[in-house]
Structure 1
């Protein structure tokens, strides 16, 4: 199982939209088994997949349940999810306070128990740094910083790149795969952002266009963009991105 984390300290960059639609694309197009980890107490991934937040990542972090008992099926046969909700807030505090456990490796050790059941694991992380995010990065093979073509998104990249390096103390094999530019438009400003990011950090060749109306409508109907509007710019770009990602270049 290959585990990917999507992250940025800035909110609103589209991590959840990327995660849920990537899960669908990989599962349906490649016929691969995908596990989604909702690592955000807002639980947006969980809501999209109609998962029960009462059985969640918080239970794994607190040692109240084994991951096999927390994983839930979704309406898509090749996609399962570990849900999250408000309980993750308290779980993060409790994990940090508990000095008798090895805090950083809880999720990694849990995922090892189910690794044979999946081909790909996608972790959607919140715009913050806490115990569950540390666990996600320690459990990941590769991390992708999702950003937008604006100064605040780019500042978030610099902060996260430094943090990823620090996490390598606990996960030396962690690879910062690159920055994914989301909500991109072919404007002089957009291309300046590409130049600025590319001069400092690894950058995916694929840029994701923002098809706002179709993305909002598909989310309201709890459909992937590939079910709702498979030929829109976002859908076509995301296909190119997941091919680039899985190629391992």
Structure 2
């Protein structure tokens, strides 16, 4: 099973949209490219629970799966079905705040390797685990990075996002001390609108940031914004929208570059 963490320290850069779109597209496969659907676990690691809400699995009154996993390091009983074929989900909610306080107070057991241990229990059951993360570096995000094989960083082409990119890359390099196999799969440019400024920013990030950057960009799309209101992915809200088509192309680029079941990597 390949674990992919979607991370950025800045909010509003389409982390959740990227995570749910990639998970959904991997699960559905691509008939045109003769890529079969993969077995996917979407892991909601954000206390806001937006990924959980999209798939109708958000739990308000009781502790969600991710909260129990980070406390116990066990995944059994914490996976739920979704209506998407081949895709299951680990949910998250605001109980994550209490869970993080609890594990920070635990000075006996390892704090940073709990997701890695839990996901090890289901290695072979899924082809991919896609982890959606909040815009911070809490213990749950550190756990996600330690568990990840690959990290994808969605960025908007503004100064705040680009400033935070350098700090996040430094954190990824530090995480390699705990997880030497993790790598930065690439930066994904999101909410793209063509202008002189955005073109200059894109040139800088591709040539001078020192980070790999996906060729595919995700265009700004009002349909993608509207989809969040209706708790849908861009593909389910408007398959013909620019963002939906861009995410399809991005998923294809990701699989082409990093492999998957069609490339013989099924667990």
Indicate whether the TM-score tops 0.5: yes
Q: Which residue of 2 aligns with 1:107?
A: 115
Q: Select 1:182's aligned residue among 165, 190, 196.
A: 190
Shift of 1:98: 0.7
Tell me, yes or no, if structure 1 residue 33 matches structure 2 residue 43: no
Q: Which residue of 2 aligns with 1:47?
A: 53
Which digits, 9 at most, give the CA deviation of each residue in 1:167-194, with x for residues without a partner? 0010011101121110011221111111
Q: Which residue of 2 aligns with 1:211?
A: 221
Q: Which residue of 2 aligns with 1:97?
A: 105
Output the CA distance in 2 between the equivalents of 1:126 and 1:117: 26
Q: Which residue of 2 aligns with 1:229?
A: 238
Shift of 1:52: 4.0
Tell me, yes or no, if structure 1 residue 135 matches structure 2 residue 139: no
Q: Which residue of 1 aligns with 2:250?
A: 241
Q: Select 1:72's aligned residue among 62, 72, 80.
A: 80
Secondary structure of the structure 2 residue equivalent to 1:70: coil
Change (3 A) 1:52 1:183: closer
Output the CA distance in 1 between the equivalents of 2:212 and 2:228: 30
Secondary structure of the structure 1 residue equivalent to 2:26: helix
Q: Which residue of 2 aligns with 1:13?
A: 13
What TM-score do you get using the length of structure 1 for normalisation? 0.95
Which digits, 9 at most, give the CA deviation of each residue in 1:90-127, with x for residues without a partner? 11121122111111111001001112111111101111
Secondary structure of the structure 1 residue equivalent to 2:48: coil
Q: Which residue of 1 aligns with 2:90?
A: 82
What TM-score do you get using the length of structure 2 for normalisation? 0.88
Moved more, 123-132 or 25-34: 25-34
Output the CA distance in 2 between the equivalents of 1:224 and 1:90: 29
Q: Select 1:59's aligned residue among 51, 65, 68.
A: 68
How many residues end up aligned between the 2 structures?
Answer: 247
Output the CA distance in 2 between the equivalents of 1:150 and 1:7: 17
Moved more, 110-119 or 223-232: 223-232
Output the CA distance in 2 between the equivalents of 1:47 and 1:241: 23
Shift of 1:88: 0.4
Shift of 1:66: 3.4
Contact 2:17 2:233 in 1 (8 A): no
Shift of 1:221: 3.2
Output the CA distance in 2 between the equivalents of 1:91 and 1:21: 27
Output the CA distance in 2 between the equivalents of 1:148 and 1:240: 18
Q: Name structure 2 gaps, 5 residues minimum.
A: 30-35, 259-267
Q: Name structure 1 gaps, 5 residues minimum.
A: none
Point out the structure with the larger strand share: 1
Which digits, 9 at most, give the CA deviation of each residue in 1:208-248, with x for residues without a partner? 10112x12333333333222221211111111111111223
